[in-house]
Structures are given as C-alpha cells and as structure tokens.
Structure 1
C-alpha cells in the first residue's frame, strides 16, 4: 500500500517535473526568437542605412555631374567656357540684370528666355511670332532688352525671344545675335569668345 502510494507520488512528481521541463524548454526558445527578431530588425535597419548612403553618394555625384563648370576670363579679356558633361556649353549671365544660365546655341538666331524670366526682367510687349526649333515650332514674342551680359562681356539693345522652355525658369539660350559681336572659337572641350579689337 505504501509502495503504491509512493509510486503514485513519484509518478505525480515525475509528471510535474516533465511538465515543468516542457515549460522550461518552451521558455528557452523565447529568448532565441526574440534574439532572432532583434537581429532581423537590425539587419533591416542596416540594409536601409546602406541604401540611404548609396542614394546620398549618387545624389552628390549627379549634382556634381550636372553642375556646369565655371567659365573664366583671360588676361586679354577673352571668355573661356568649358564644355559641360552633357556636351553643351553652359555659362551664367544676366538679361536686364536677372540671373540666367545660358546654353550656347550657335543655331539659334536670338537670345531666348522663358516667359517667367521675361516677366521678372521686365521684357513685356513686343511682336508675337513663331520660333522654329529642333523640337518643332513654339510661340513667343520678340522684345528689346536693355542688356545681356555673360561674365565680362555685355551687349546692349539686343532683341530677345520669349517663350523658351528650359528645365528651369532661369534657363536661356545664347544665340547668334549675341555671339556675332565676338570672335568665336570652338574646340573639343571649350569655347572661347574674344572681344573684337
């Protein structure tokens, strides 16, 4: 009788012990799962940080790539415009005192500006006309400007076309009616505008 009771007690204790072992085994897995989740989260943050760094480097590289290199003026007063990486010659200037970024276009008859810049520069009125461009025809006006400058070079009283569609409102074309006042030399990687003596 006593041994039967002892066996039951032993079995009861074993059962309890077995159950607690099962609970302990399950508990042992929880910290591991948490650790795995934590590592996964850290991995995701690491991947995100990596791609943000890559995007930052690409942004800086593209900004450097797209920014025109500066023009320089020689001791003789010639303007040297380096060729931009996109193959065009770009140079900062002004139209009636308003800052613009000119793209030199030897095939354009006139200096041309956007409507937004024309408004800022006080270029109003003028005769309505249609301009033929490489991208088709566009409507605009031809207006007299007080001054067009590119660094040290300036021409007064030029006719300026409006309605140019650049990427930015400060974009403009530097056409032949400005260029014809200078001796123009075009090389592989630079353009030189020399004042006529």
Structure 2
C-alpha cells in the first residue's frame, strides 16, 4: 500500500467529520484476492468514522488513513452483496498499515456493527466528490455510478511495487477514462 495524497477541505464536513479530497487516482491491491481498487481523483473521504470518546483512543489521521479511504470508497460504490468483503478488506488493510491487533479488531467490529446504513446509501455517491484544485465539494459526482470498485485483478499485488506497472494500471484504468455522469 502506498501513501495517498489528500487535500483537507476547510469548511465542509461529512456527518460532522472533517473531509478531504483525494488529489490523484490512488490504487490499492488486496493481496488475498489480487483485486485492484482505484479510488478516483476528486473522491471525498471522512477517513475513519470514529465515534466521540473513541477518538481519544484511535487517531483519525493515524496509520489507518489509507485503509479508511479505500473502505469509504467501497461503501460509496456499495456493490450489492459485498459489504462483508469490504469490511474484511478494511481489517486486512489496517494490518498492512501496522495498526495493532486490538485497535484493528475494534475498528473492524465497529464498521460491522454500525456501518450497514452507509453501505451503498442513496445519495452517497453524489455527495462524495470535490474539486481537488479549489477544495470545494461538487453538487454531483462527475462519474456515472460504478457497479464495482474493482478495476482489475493481479496474480501478485507485489507487481504494484513497480513504477512501470503502476503507470500502466493508471493509464489503463484511471478515472480520466471513466464514463461521465449525464447532466
């Protein structure tokens, strides 16, 4: 998993939490399946949805950031029948980022318990995009709603360690090539 570039949105909240806009397409490969997920430039995240009081124990901007962003994206896409897989990917990604076992399991249990209403929620797609240049939320998604967050599958996620492979994946599956929403 590589670092993700985001821009914190100054005056916008998602369910009372700070929001950030993904500054460039970001790829994540899930080793158990080889699924490659592309979080598009312009996607807005609120990182980990930590309830008040628990935020004193779990750092919203800590080692969980990349896992939280990909999990948010999976929930925004909301592919039918894939919520449990999204939550399991979140736990795996937390482990990859070095989040300790107790914190990782607590965060996983929290999304399993409290995340159901957000998964694929109507309206979630349109309110989760912003302009990376201005930092302003967009009224609607620039993309047609995705049916899957997975853009391809690799036989070995370590292939993404190659700059050439990353470039190939980004040019082939990048959001600049996604169908645009009809206005």
Report the TM-score, using the length of structure 2 for normalisation: 0.30
Report the TM-score, using the length of structure 1 for normalisation: 0.28
- Considering Cα pairs closer than 8 Å and 6+ residues apart, tell me whether 1 or 2 has the greater RCO: 2
If you compute each CA radius of gyration, which structure gives the higher value, 1 or 2? 1
